[in-house]
Structure 1
Amino acid sequence: MTSQDYVQDAVVPISTVIRDDDASLGIGMPELDPVPVAASWASLVKPGDENDTVYGDMISRLRDFLDYVTAARPDADTVTALRDDLERWGQRLAPMAVPERDQVFGHLRDQHGRGQTMSPAFVVKEADRDNVWGTVRFGRYFLGGNGAVHGGAIPLLFDEVLGRLANSAGRPHARTAYLHTDFRSVTPIGTELTVHGWFVSEEGRKRIVRAELRDGAVVCAEAEGLFVQLNPDQP
């Protein structure tokens, strides 16, 4: 198979691909529910445009793609074709680079995961000014080994959840000062897990927030974060 042949075959929509239902793979996940309107999180939504929904769909497929890449042991021809495809897409995207504040990646705050793939998509189920409840499922891309989520991916999730909570409900922007994570049990790949984040205290510029990650009744990990409000001259 040539690279060109592979490109032609690859245009089949990913939704038509038969997905493995082995939960340990963490791939072929169900479609995410719409983001609920909750005051502490909806306040972060930035005005979008007509391309935002399509961009979000693309990010969802990119997440699937990363899981498939991780789970696959491809032959040499497939790897070569994929390498060449990625090179062409890189060349196409390179001239479209914009300043950080204008990029779409990670800035779609009305979508699960904010339109990024660095951390798993946190699905908000309920939220108020000081709490947020939701679910998350780590795909194969986040595998550390033996069916467990990589230890470095869990603080990424906590920073995403606690950072948004600390900066929601009209609070001035703050940055992470520390994030302490305690690992209580193995966090499994491909399982829907529950997340609860809550505000602990606020004193001056300092905000303490905590969260826990559960697999059913089992606490997989807990975290505490200190977020410090930025001064007017801080980026």
Structure 2
Amino acid sequence: MTETAPEVRGGFPDVRPVEDAPDELGPFVAALRRLQDLTVSSKPDPALWAAATEHLENACALLDGHQVPETEAVAGRVLTLPGLAHPLMPPWLVTDSGPDGVTMAGHFTTAHIGGNRAVHGGMIPLFYDWLLGMVVSTADIRPTRTAYLHVDYRKITPIDEPLTAQGRISRVDGRKVFIDATMTSADGSLLSEANGLMVRLLPHQP
């Protein structure tokens, strides 16, 4: 048994993908993403903000009291839904995965704009951190934490256009897992590339 085997890894939760998510979750998360897009692109009458706030508070009241531990929560763990059904993640899907790495496809929306219809620079590392996590999970290297993540921006990343990203393990050195990744546009142009280090946790590490 290794020091990173599930049986001896301490209290780190074993969060696995959910395969039986309710059908109602996808439309709910899609509505939340739509709300985020509208929030940053609308200028309604002030009274409409108050009316919308009331609706949101009612929705919160419906869900409040149903919180569960992260190992039981569904949103953020559904591989078949965009962004794993996490409303803060961009709507991307894993299209291919295996020992050679992970390929994802998707797009960014209005909520991700940093200026002039380009994706905010801070959203790109968030996406890559997610991609690196998918790479090590697919390779069954877990649990890990991100030790560093370096991103090179090659071109402006557009919103509302189909994009592709790929990540693969370039080297493993003990507990260290080095990963290279790229993001490209539909015409194959390189938009950004990243390299990162994921480190397997020791049993006492949270």
TM-score (norm 2): 0.85
Query: For structure 1, which segment, 110-119 or 178-187, has the greater mean C-alpha deviation from structure 2 after superposition?
Result: 110-119
Residue 91 of structure 2, aligned match among 110, 118, 121: 121
* Structure number with higher strand proportion: 2
The alignment status of 1:197 with 2:167, answered yes or no, reads yes
> How many Å separate the matches in 2 of 1:66 and 1:231?
38
> How many Å separate the matches in 2 of 1:121 and 1:197?
17
The alignment status of 1:217 with 2:188, answered yes or no, reads yes
The alignment status of 1:171 with 2:150, answered yes or no, reads no
> How many Å separate the matches in 1 of 2:194 and 2:112?
19
Q: What residue is the counterpart of 1:56 in the other structure?
A: 26
The SS at the match of 1:162 is helix
* Structure number with higher helix proportion: 1
* Structure 1 residue 164: Cα displacement: 1.0
> How many Å separate the matches in 1 of 2:41 and 2:18?
37
The alignment status of 1:82 with 2:40, answered yes or no, reads no
Query: For structure 1, which segment, 109-118 or 197-206, has the greater mean C-alpha deviation from structure 2 after superposition?
Result: 109-118
TM-score (norm 1): 0.75
* Structure 1 residue 137: Cα displacement: 0.5
Aligned-pair identity in percent equals: 34
The SS at the match of 1:101 is coil
CA separation of 1:143 and 1:196: change in aligned 2, threshold 3 A = same
Q: What residue is the counterpart of 2:35 in the other structure?
A: 65
- Across the aligned residues of Structure 1 and Structure 2, the Cα RMSD in angstroms comes to 1.8
Residue 198 of structure 2, aligned match among 215, 218, 227: 227
> How many Å separate the matches in 2 of 1:162 and 1:170?
12
Number of aligned residue pairs = 191
> How many Å separate the matches in 2 of 1:47 and 1:138?
24
Q: Which amino acid aligns with 2:96?
A: E
Q: Which amino acid aligns with 1:222?
A: E
> Which segments of 5 or more consecutive residues in structure 2 lack a partner in the other structure?
1-14
